[in-house]
Chain A
Amino acid sequence: DAGVTQSPTHLIKTRGQQVTLRCSPKSGHDTVSWYQQALGQGPQFIFQYYEEEERQRGNFPDRFSGHQFPNYSSELNVNALLLGDSALYLCASSANTGVETQYFGPGTRLLVL
């Protein structure tokens, strides 16, 4: 049973560029949430997708956008990258019913130079 997978594992970009991060949820899960974790901090909620729609959003600018596909996988897009966007980006998946747990992927480490 595959867990949550994310790609790429590491990424280096320069200011002003755009980046796309990908996430495949755990088998049986239909909800995907994205988090940004800066060094030494707890994860900060970016947004959540269910049934291909964004249903919750944290305090992040519109430069952060996402998408969910019919197979429940998801993408996080960040435009006009800033140095402060350097962080570990975590994807978490959960099921809309049953036991309430949220499983995280290994994350994508983004460095903006």
Chain B
Amino acid sequence: AQKITQTQPGMFVQEKEAVTLDCTYDTSDPSYGLFWYKQPSSGEMIFLIYQGSYDQQNATEGRYSLNFQKARKSANLVISASQLGDSAMYFCAMREGPRRDDKIIFGKGTRLHILP
């Protein structure tokens, strides 16, 4: 069974609109971490945001926020006021376990296209 599911292979969004990228995860471990990464066409993975399973507040980093719904095992990424430079692949990932050296599992990604 997939541990990380990103159901949107591709999305087209008008510039300046808000974007929500979906991510659901599957784990029985009470301690885990959730990450979002951006991968432009150059290939480099850029860290965007992190949410720990015990964090009470949703994580935010500038225009990025993580809508963490623990009971639904959902960790959607919200990008406010999208920009042309946001066009890229976006990956949701999970560290399953409490230790920093626990493996990180990635989803298959969502390709986001921002339209001018």
Q: Are B103 and A107 in contact (CB under 8 A)?
A: no
A17 located at the interface, meaning its Cβ lies under 8 Å from any Cβ of chain B in the complex: no
B17 located at the interface, meaning its Cβ lies under 8 Å from any Cβ of chain A in the complex: no
A41 to B9, CA, bound (A): 11
Q: How many chain A residues touch B (Cβ–Cβ < 8 Å)?
A: 29
Closest Cβ of chain B to A26, distance in Å, is 11
Q: Quick one: closest B residue to A58, CB to CB? A: B103
A103 contacts which chain B residues (CB < 8 A)? 47
A88 to B91, CA, bound (A): 15
A43 to B107, CA, bound (A): 8
B104 contacts which chain A residues (CB < 8 A)? 33, 45, 102
Q: Are B47 and A41 in contact (CB under 8 A)?
A: no
Closest Cβ of chain B to A6, distance in Å, is 10
A88 to B43, CA, bound (A): 8
> Which residues of B (33-64) have their CB < 8 Å from a CB of A?
33, 35, 37, 42-47, 50, 52
B91 contacts which chain A residues (CB < 8 A)? 42-43
B35 contacts which chain A residues (CB < 8 A)? 102
A102 to B102, CA, bound (A): 12
Interface on B for A, CB 8 Å cutoff? 4, 33, 35, 37, 42-47, 50, 52, 91, 93, 95, 100-109
